[in-house]
Structure 1
Amino acid sequence: MSRSREVTGKVIAVTGGARGIGRAIAERLTAAGARVAIGDRDLEAAQETAAELGVRAYSLDVADRDSFDDYLGAVRRDLGPIDVLINNAGIMWVGSFEEEPDSAARAQLEVNLLGVINGVKAAAPAMREAGRGHLIAVASAASILPIPGEATYAATKAGVLGYFRAVRAEMRGKGVDTSVIMPAVVDTALATGTGTGVVRLLRPDDVARAVVEVVVRPRFEITVPGFIGSATRWVSLLPQRLKDRAFVAMVPDQVAQVRAGARAGYETATFTTSRARQRSRRAASAE
């Protein structure tokens, strides 16, 4: 049976907390009495959110292990031991896998997957030593569903689920909980111009509610809405031909549905920054 836990007073670190799902998570947790510290590579936006919500804000590039260590070190210094780490930061490129720029694929792997790995490695040792803690990743329904137009994004989110399954096995009996939240399409900048399939468009607060619920009562795999998990498990029992038909009916074809030009602003801003960061790292490693 799951254990019910108090949120009040918990020190909770949330990555990608300046906007969207991360902001909604910070807002709900703060309302529940948690002491929240958001990290984001856009420090100015994070500071604005922090001022509005009454939380702490820090600079964070999840793809940089040193930056993650500095972020969690600052949170521990200012607020105390971290009870919960919520790995929420993520980016997405949408379109045919053949047309995806190599730099966009690399950036998604760095932020969505390596960023989570960096977070777990930075937070887990102290939690294991204390015999308590909770590692949470906001992944995606793309972790378990085949979504045309999101090949690399889906690979990173499936990687997060696989990574957390292995970490959970290693941490069993150590007092540290692990949870993976897998929402359908959420109304954020990341999903601009995409389709939702058979599921309604979620609000960031729908995901935030699920996160708070899992902090209170830890579970491992959670889909939002919940029926996605059970439907996917049922479909997986079918022969491949029928399975393919079922997924075509359930899952949006983002190659066909994404609106021309609708994502230009998001992808230019997101992946231009990522390319600059990649060039900076290559230059630093060459010195």
Structure 2
Amino acid sequence: MKATPRLEGKVVAVTGGANGIGRETARLLASLGAKVAIGDRDGEAARRAARELEGAVLGVDLDVTSAASFAAYLAAVEAEWGAVDILVNNAGVMWVGPFDAEPDAAAERQLAVNLMGVMRGVKLAAPAMVARGSGHIITIASASSILTTPGEASYSASKHGVLGYLKAVREELRLSPVQVSVIMPAVVDTELAAGTGTGAAKLLQPSDIAQAVLRTIAKPRFEVTIPGYMGPLARLINVLPRPLREFIMRTLVPNQVSQADLRAREVYEAQFGTRS
């Protein structure tokens, strides 16, 4: 039997929550009684999502690239419902294409949102959780945290950075009651992944990731891969000789330089000024 955590009255902050994984996570947790604050760069989309979802849901403007904006978001949540029990770092952006064709602005944006955004959230939320004696920080990273994906060089760098950062933070917090988790899914059917290949793994849905968040709340683990076999497989492959390791990785992991449909990504990437 799957464990369902008691979420009634728990205060949950979800970044990048207006669409995709964030919205589905907010919907699921709110349906189980949590008070969920959706933070999003598109504040109106966040408020619209809050109106459309059932339960206690709040929509708030949030730019994770700004420490002041992130602090104001958490302050708004606390003013409305009290201290944040669970922070879900979900906001992310991705540029796809050959590494030498990537505009500097695209690389800088990915690092600012995907890596620095997570770091800001952890720095702002964790100390209060430690002082209070409870809390859980869950970050939605990517299989790119542990795999090599051609065509997503800067995105992979940002997600490798997230995993490395959280490993260090978790060690610093090991004697505290605060839980730190990182969820690393394969390709998910969202705007971010529009036009990309999935490799050997099946295309995931936002609901798959939301369910993983729920399971992680119920039974905290640090590293969670989706599909579950991906983590153990990556560790196994890494002990093989390099030629064999690289052959297997090329078989399993999509090469987005050759497989991605860049036309299908134009609308998404134009939102962030990441397609030259």
**CA offset at residue 269 of structure 1?**
1.2
**CA offset at residue 5 of structure 1?**
4.6
Equivalent positions of 1:70-81 (< 5 A) are 70-81=72-83
Report the equivalent of 2:38.
38
Equivalent positions of 1:183-222 (< 5 A) are 183-222=185-224
**CA offset at residue 121 of structure 1?**
0.8
**Matches of 1:218 and 1:35, distance apart in 2:** 20
State the one-letter code of the partner of 1:12: V
**CA offset at residue 4 of structure 1?**
8.0
**Matches of 2:217 and 2:178, distance apart in 1:** 12
Report the equivalent of 2:17.
17
**Which digits, 9 at most, give the CA deviation of each residue in 1:221-265, with x for residues without a partner?**
000110111111110110111100010011000000011411111
Report the equivalent of 2:69.
67
What is the DSSP-based 3-state SS (H/G/I as helix, E as strand, rest coil) of the residue aligned with 1:174? coil
**Matches of 1:65 and 1:111, distance apart in 2:** 12
Q: Is the 8 A contact 1:92 1:190 kept in 2?
A: yes
State the one-letter code of the partner of 2:189: D
**Which digits, 9 at most, give the CA deviation of each residue in 1:131-164, with x for residues without a partner?**
1100110000000000000000001011111111
How many residues are matched? Answer: 272
Report the equivalent of 1:285.
none
2:144 to 120, 128, 142: 142
Q: Is the 8 A contact 1:128 1:175 kept in 2?
A: yes
Q: Equivalent pairs: percent with the same residue?
A: 54
Distance 1:124 1:94, change over 3 A: same
Equivalent positions of 1:246-261 (< 5 A) are 246-261=248-263
**Matches of 1:182 and 1:12, distance apart in 2:** 20
**Matches of 2:195 and 2:158, distance apart in 1:** 21
**Matches of 2:271 and 2:158, distance apart in 1:** 20
**Which digits, 9 at most, give the CA deviation of each residue in 1:146-200, with x for residues without a partner?**
0000000001011111111011000111100000000000000000000000001
What is the DSSP-based 3-state SS (H/G/I as helix, E as strand, rest coil) of the residue aligned with 1:270? coil
Q: Is the 8 A contact 1:113 1:159 kept in 2?
A: yes
With structure 2 as the length reference, what TM-score do the two structures score? 0.96
Q: Is the 8 A contact 1:185 1:201 kept in 2?
A: yes
Report the equivalent of 2:127.
125
Report the equivalent of 1:279.
none
State the one-letter code of the partner of 1:53: L
**Matches of 1:32 and 1:166, distance apart in 2:** 32
Distance 1:271 1:8, change over 3 A: same
Report the equivalent of 2:179.
177
Q: Is the 8 A contact 1:14 1:85 kept in 2?
A: yes
**Matches of 2:273 and 2:26, distance apart in 1:** 25
Distance 1:107 1:260, change over 3 A: closer
With structure 1 as the length reference, what TM-score do the two structures score? 0.92
**CA offset at residue 270 of structure 1?**
2.0
Q: Which runs of 5+ in 1 are unaligned?
A: 276-287
**Matches of 1:114 and 1:164, distance apart in 2:** 12
What is the DSSP-based 3-state SS (H/G/I as helix, E as strand, rest coil) of the residue aligned with 2:271? helix
